[in-house]
Structure 1
């Protein structure tokens, strides 16, 4: 949150641009200064060499030696010196006596006066250079003797003013500064373009804002219980939060970032949903032990960049919805039975009013005996309370739909036989969905019957449900347990989830679920669950690929 009146800190891109621009300017300025100092030194050295060469050339000229022996050396030497000065580009050429009295000078009034500068070394036969301030100002000069045999008959000095040297260096530095300015401008434009791109990617945020956003990002990823999965353009995991690892069964110690979705070992339908290019909205998928609602949304910006996947665990919700559907069915059955009971009560009352009391007692007793016989039959066959209550409720539901539900004579399951590892909710999920599927198949058939068998056999709990429906096409035997498969029209809520949930619960407890044809027509679904402690669940991939529900 920004405080009014306080300027917003410069963005990260702006800070980088300013830093790069200053750094580039410092580099160019340093190079320009180094070049200026170097060029000035080189210019002075070049001036010394030029002055020395001109002085020696004049001193070696025969015409100079001849003119020195004349009565008036200035008359011949002054025009010669001015011509050499003009042709060579030096600022002065002075020819003087061995004692330093000028014969020539660029200013005629200086002729005959002593030379201003050091001539001691030249008087002893040495050529040397120096920087000295004379009548023309500071200059770089060379002084050399004029020899005639072994005798010095004169001295020659040639020089270039320091001001002229500075002008030469300034011209070079001006050109250098022009090049440096061009480099700085090009560097600035390149830096601006790069930082403009960086600004677009960082949305103009500064370093503190980016750091704060990263902290919020990490906190949100670990705090959200829903699963969040981000895939790159090649469907590899780019990011996954703790919720996603838990829901997909990926341990925290496993580094799955960079792994393809196809290599995560997820069930085939879920893998297909994650690999789909089109968005998926509130799709229900099953893993080894969970029911997940999956939403996918592509991330694009001119081109596909990846996919955002959200996962919600609705395992408990789906179970509660199944129980709610059962309760709703029980309620409808009770309502119908209440209506039938009211009809029977009216019949009994009418018989009494007609004076047929014995017939009324016989009619009422027959109804009670029928209901009690059904209860006795179920409880005698299956004394386990959860299964007995479930079968009694499903019997009433099936009766309302015109389907006879019977418990086979070879059923037998004592109370307390079920292991603690098999919770009643999973048992209700398995048998309830198998019975509901059988009732749907048998409804409208002649005869319409569903036979349930529940017994312990060879250390296993066997739950077998047979119906008189149309049966299962052998071609579909491996598909009936997959989520979404159904031979009935799809309603608003979708179909094909009941058998998939039953199969999920069976495999979670290390059991098997198979389907086969009944001898008289119809289908037989058989679930086998170990009565001992359930083994480790099978891997998700193995469950997803098992044909017909068998492992």
Structure 2
């Protein structure tokens, strides 16, 4: 499905070689000439058979008629037994030959002895009637060998008044040769046969040249070698390759693409919409835009796709899409985001503590020790209140630490992070706790980003483990439009107009982790505006986690 430059170069290289074997075009020309010859022979055979049948039917009746006419001649009936019958009846026999065009006319006794013949040398010979029924008193026509010549014979008996066979009148004519039969079929048949042969040869020659031009001079073995080499290259590369024609049918699919898209071996030759692909991937393969790059999150992978249109000799024939598995890369990016989140949290806390230390230092220099004591007590109580507000509802230490850190970070951005009073979470399996941190951390980061600068600037979090595990994060941002509630979970897609293209990985990871844990993630409108993200996980989902996703967790 390339544009043909490489193919032409390769074809020129192969065409320049001196081949010892017969070329493909030459083989095809020879084959076509053999086919034409077979057809001509078949037509000639049919023509000969038809002419032979017509000769047997027409001339056979003619031989019978001549024999009947001669047998009814009075002089023949009177002189058939005369010892000089050969001389007496010779004029009548010659006249019968002249009238019928037969080769031989004879008068034969019932015992097979020739009494008179248009060929005097045969007089007195004994002949074999063969399958003839004439000695039984019935006229007969058929094939007999006369002096080694295959002939058509008509025989009529001369009967007495009581029905006895007195003699037999035999009229015969040799079968014409094959050439005579063909000639007898008419000159036009020969002209048509010759014209057909000439046209067949010319058409075969032109077709062989066309094949040679379209195969760029390559022979069968060379074409097979190139095809094998192409298949080996396509199926050995790590990136997935999918070719789709203008009708939306898959024309090429290598092993990597088959694994990434999770389709069977029968995908080639089927329409894209019948393969059961993720809707975003299906739309990408069918959209046909030139030079378009996109990263799409499916339920199991994050795929980086690139599409190019394919054409040959200026005619567009479809698209070629390459794809890479970016799940591990996305996980590493998520891990870097989590480290950045921790760094930002420490920076916020450092800034806060620095201000507090400056205040305490100033009070000490002023000698306001009571004020110092009151300030330290107030700060201690505030920190204890934040910790107590979280740990009272969340027993798991990792999740609680994350919520406490995110509370401080949100406050640095001017956003209030509130844990709903209905929240309750028991201690989790360490593996599941890691995935919960990934989900919760990315959802909170997304909510804080969209809530920053809003009039209320609040993010509400609820975590419950009554029936499975449910995580709800509500923000005070602009909300998610209806048409974006599916695409919002694709990497690089965001509903925040002020956020550059570097964001978008968080929600993609949320969807990927949720799907791999057997859960789901949904987005809806909040009661007072904003968006509400809800993740539902089954109780025993931790057994299904994968190492690649775990690498992208968000740590406290």
TM range (shorter): 0.5 to 0.7
Q: CA deviation at 1:6?
A: 3.8
Q: CA deviation at 1:313?
A: 2.0
Query: Which position in structure 2 is the counterpart of 1:26?
Result: 38
Answer yes or no: is the 8 Å Cα contact 2:423–2:464 preserved in 1: yes
Q: For structure 2, which runs of at least 5 residues remain unmatched after alignment?
A: 1-12, 79-87, 108-113, 128-133, 162-168, 546-556
Query: Which position in structure 2 is the counterpart of 1:270?
Result: 281
Answer yes or no: is the 8 Å Cα contact 2:415–2:458 preserved in 1: yes
Provide the rounded CA distance (Å) in 1 between the counterparts of 2:481 and 2:42.
86
Change beyond 3 A, Cα 1:446–1:255: same
Question: Does residue 1:384 correspond to 2:408, yes or no?
Answer: no
Across the aligned residues of Structure 1 and Structure 2, the Cα RMSD in angstroms comes to 6.7
Query: Which position in structure 2 is the counterpart of 1:472?
Result: 479
Change beyond 3 A, Cα 1:48–1:418: closer
1:432 to 441, 449, 459: 441
Query: Which position in structure 1 is the counterpart of 2:450?
Result: 441
Answer yes or no: is the 8 Å Cα contact 2:331–2:509 preserved in 1: no
Higher RCO, Cα 8 Å, sep 6+? 2
> Counterparts of 1:443-462 in structure 2 under 5 Å?
443-445=452-454, 449-451=457-459, 453=461, 457-458=465-466
Q: CA deviation at 1:49?
A: 8.0
Query: Which position in structure 2 is the counterpart of 1:315?
Result: 327
1:489 to 481, 494, 497: 497
Query: Which position in structure 2 is the counterpart of 1:419?
Result: 429
Question: Does residue 1:502 correspond to 2:510, yes or no?
Answer: yes
Change beyond 3 A, Cα 1:53–1:508: closer
> Counterparts of 1:279-294 in structure 2 under 5 Å?
279=290, 281-294=292-305
Q: CA deviation at 1:281?
A: 2.1
Provide the rounded CA distance (Å) in 2 between the counterparts of 1:52 and 1:462.
110
1:246 to 244, 247, 259: 259
Q: CA deviation at 1:282?
A: 1.9
Change beyond 3 A, Cα 1:411–1:28: same
Query: Which position in structure 2 is the counterpart of 1:181?
Result: 194
Change beyond 3 A, Cα 1:445–1:130: closer
Aligned length: 499
Query: Which position in structure 1 is the counterpart of 2:165?
Result: none
Task: After superposition, give the CA deviation of every residue in 1:432-491 in whole Å (9 maximum; x if it has no partner).
Answer: 3323322322333456x5556475543655555455x44427867956845476443377
Q: For structure 1, which runs of at least 5 residues remain unmatched after alignment?
A: 67-75, 106-113, 150-155, 538-551
Q: CA deviation at 1:290?
A: 1.8
Answer yes or no: is the 8 Å Cα contact 2:424–2:463 preserved in 1: yes
State TM-score, norm by structure 2: 0.59
Answer yes or no: is the 8 Å Cα contact 2:152–2:175 preserved in 1: no
Task: After superposition, give the CA deviation of every residue in 1:318-347 in whole Å (9 maximum; x if it has no partner).
Answer: 2222333454566688889999999999x9
Answer yes or no: is the 8 Å Cα contact 2:44–2:182 preserved in 1: no
Query: Which position in structure 1 is the counterpart of 2:23?
Result: 10
Provide the rounded CA distance (Å) in 2 between the counterparts of 1:464 and 1:475.
19
Q: CA deviation at 1:243?
A: 3.5
